[in-house]
């Protein structure tokens, strides 16, 4: 990654507060981009030191310390549920936050969850990566060139855009009042896809396909499906018996599920109904009650 330190104001620093998976990954990438990661803050000093060890720079400090409040930009990468309480605590500890920018990385909560700091003069905002980060190392790989949702005060959004673009990212605005729907969109395609992949693995294993074949086979299959979606859109990329109106195959699917995995039948029916609505295909009358049951 090319150094982009010239994008950052001189004599200022960044504090990473809550060095979990996203905090460590963002800290390392920002440091590699030449931005001044000055403090790594955690409730326990040992956790802060681990974060510094991964990031490669910064001073490890405990949350209760005061020195790290000298930073100019604060990235709150803590658990979503801790944001409001943390903002209130920080506002109580420092009366003047003028000139400070505080960003959180939560996808489901608006910037206003940090309103306690805004009342003290801080510019508040949200910088959320629309990407999966299962580990710090995966985040370093996945966050380069990622898409970043931004909202909040003008000054905070300006800093958020600089941070995202320093990582080669693509920035877009999100409506604050619709953050839950925004986050839900990620939920529908990431953990649900993993759940469906695991269920597909079970079916393949039951059919005799060894795991060493099934996992890479599913990975390639889904990767190609996603590529088709990117190029054609969902409706044109859709394949399978629901698109063809092949109801005899769908009936065989349901019979097999009743024998092997009856708990999957409700999921199958819901997905089948969604596919039919997407493609505009109307099921035969005898199948309508089956799908809706």
CATH of the domain at 49: 3.40.50.720
Q: What is the pLDDT of residue 277?
A: 87
Residues 219 and 279 in one domain: yes
Q: What is the pLDDT of residue 282?
A: 81
Residues 41 and 146 in one domain: yes
Which residue, of 109, 142, 176, is where some domain finishes? 176
Residue 205 lies in a domain: yes
Q: What is the pLDDT of residue 7?
A: 47
Which residue, of 143, 176, 209, is where some domain finishes? 176
End-to-end CA separation in angstroms for the chain: 53
Residues 44 and 150 in one domain: yes
Q: What is the pLDDT of residue 287?
A: 73
Q: What is the pLDDT of residue 223?
A: 95
Distances (CA, A) of 44 to 6, 48, 64, 202: 33, 7, 9, 41
Dist. CA 270–CA 254, nearest whole Å? 13
Residue 276's domain comprises: 189-292
Residues 205 and 268 in one domain: yes
Residues 214 and 168 in one domain: no
Residues 49 and 133 in one domain: yes
Q: What is the pLDDT of residue 293?
A: 53
Q: Are 108 and 179 in contact (CB under 8 A)?
A: yes
**Tokens matching residue 194:** 């993993």
Beta bridge partners of 289: none
> How many domains are there within the chain?
2
CATH of the domain at 233: 1.10.1040
Task: Give this prediction's pTM.
Answer: 0.88
Residues 203 and 251 in one domain: yes
Residue 224 lies in a domain: yes
Residues 271 and 195 in one domain: yes
User: Would you call 217 helix, strand, or coil by DSSP?
Assistant: helix
**Tokens matching residue 53:** 């060890």
Residues 171 and 194 in one domain: no
Residues 86 and 141 in one domain: yes
**Tokens matching residue 84:** 């409001």
Phi-psi region of 34 (alpha: psi -120 to 50; beta: other; left: phi over 0): left
Residue 181 lies in a domain: no
Dist. CA 107–CA 266, nearest whole Å? 29
Low-confidence ranges of the chain (pLDDT < 70): 1-12, 288-290, 292-293
Beta bridge partners of 126: 104, 151
Residues 243 and 270 in one domain: yes
Q: What is the pLDDT of residue 243?
A: 87
Residues 119 and 43 in one domain: yes
């Amino acid at each position: 990654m090319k150094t982009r330190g010239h994008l950052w104001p001189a004599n200022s620093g960044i504090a990473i507060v809550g060095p979990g998976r996203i905090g460590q990954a963002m800290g390392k990438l920002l440091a590699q981009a030449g931005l001044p990661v000055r403090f790594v803050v955690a409730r326990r000093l040992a956790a802060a030191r681990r974060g510094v060890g991964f990031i490669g720079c910064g001073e490890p400090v405990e949350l209760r310390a005061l020195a790290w409040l000298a930073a100019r930009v604060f990235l709150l990468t803590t658990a979503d549920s801790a944001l409001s309480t943390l903002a209130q605590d920080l506002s109580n500890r420092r009366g003047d936050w003028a000139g400070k920018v505080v960003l959180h990385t939560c996808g489901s909560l608006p910037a206003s969850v940090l309103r306690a700091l805004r009342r003290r003069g801080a510019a508040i905002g949200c910088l959320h990566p629309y990407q999966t980060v299962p580990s710090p190392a995966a985040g370093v790989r996945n966050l380069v060139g990622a898409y970043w949702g931004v909202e909040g005060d003008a000054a905070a959004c300006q800093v958020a855009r600089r941070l995202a673009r320093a990582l080669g990212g693509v920035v877009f605005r999100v409506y604050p009042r619709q953050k839950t729907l925004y986050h839900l969109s990620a939920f529908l395609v990431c953990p649900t896809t993993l759940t469906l992949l695991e269920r597909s693995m079970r079916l393949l294993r039951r059919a005799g396909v060894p795991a060493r074949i099934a996992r890479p086979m599913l990975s390639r299959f889904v990767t190609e499906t996603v590529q088709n979606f990117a190029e054609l859109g969902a409706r044109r990329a859709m394949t399978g018996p629901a698109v063809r109106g092949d109801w005899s195959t769908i009936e065989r699917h349901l019979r097999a599920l009743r024998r092997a995995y009856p708990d999957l039948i409700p999921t199958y029916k819901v997905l089948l109904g969604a596919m039919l609505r997407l493609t505009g295909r109307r099921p035969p009358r005898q199948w309508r009650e089956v799908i809706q049951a």
